[in-house]
Amino acid sequence: MYIETEKKLRELYGFPKGRSKDKQLDRLEVHTKRFISLSPFVLISTCSKQGDLDCSPRGGNAGFVVPVNDHCLLIPDSKGNNRLDSFVNIVNTGKVGCLFLIPGVDETLRVNGEAKISTSPEYLNRYTEWSNPPRACIVVSINEVFLHCAKALMRSGLWDQNNKIDRKVLPTMGKMLNDQLSISEEPETQEQMIERYKRDL
């Protein structure tokens, strides 16, 4: 049985109450700015004109995402694989959702808003000391911002060292890609991949 209307959803779950309803803000303030300044990792979600979805990770030193003001965030684009899935979606729909994480902290921060791709020197000059400075930035105009409770990360034990797996339980990225693409040549080792990635960070 599938639930196909919001009415049916609400009959099953009800409505948010108290802080879970009231915590949504339309701007950054001292605590959300501090959270972003400590975050080295953000997931950005976008959608195409056709409604196809994409979720992409972005990482850097803590605070690599910069609040321009209470209503605007700057996400630099680090060197990648040039698929540009997120960028194409932003150019076409101008929408973005962000989820910020801080290692060791179970709460997360959600930011939703309008987005544009900028090559403005005013923004790019903030990153001139990077070994690979960004060619563009995502400028997010904030519509919604709120702290998300710790339950999901508590359930997953994401930061628990006892849950950390040995990378060797999975094949190397090179092996998996070779299998998926039916490539018969010797795959790149994990060590080779890491060294190659380090040159592009």
Residue 82 is part of a domain; what is its CATH number? 2.30.110.10
Cα of first residue to Cα of last residue in the chain, in angstroms, is 47
Residue 201 has pLDDT above 80, yes or no: no
- Predicted pLDDT of residue 200: 77
Number of domains in the chain: 2
Using pLDDT thresholds of 50, 70 and 90, give the confidence band for residue 143. very high
Q: Are residues 115 and 61 in the same domain?
A: yes
- Predicted pLDDT of residue 17: 85
Q: Are residues 31 and 112 in the same domain?
A: yes
Q: What is the pTM of this model?
A: 0.93
Would you say residue 7 lies in a domain?
no
Q: Are residues 71 and 131 in the same domain?
A: yes
Q: Between 201 and 91, whose confidence is greater?
A: 91
Would you say residue 192 lies in a domain?
yes
Cα separation, 154 vs 108, in Å, equals 11
Would you say residue 149 lies in a domain?
yes
Q: Are residues 105 and 170 in the same domain?
A: no
For residue 27, give its domain range.
13-156
- Predicted pLDDT of residue 197: 86
- Predicted pLDDT of residue 18: 85
Write out pLDDT tens, residues 153-195: 999 999 999 999 999 999 999 999 999 999 999 998 888 888 9
Residue 61 has pLDDT above 90, yes or no: yes
**Which bin fits 49, alpha (ψ -120 to 50), beta or left (φ > 0)?**
alpha
Instruction: List own/partner pairs for 37-41 with CB under 8 A and 24 or more apart.
Output: 37/62, 37/63, 38/62, 38/63, 38/102, 38/105, 39/63, 39/65, 39/100, 39/101, 39/102, 39/109, 40/64, 40/102, 40/103, 41/100, 41/101, 41/103
Q: Are residues 170 and 152 in the same domain?
A: no
User: Across all residues in the chain, what is the average pLDDT?
Assistant: 94
Q: Are residues 120 and 180 in the same domain?
A: no
Q: Are residues 50 and 130 in the same domain?
A: yes
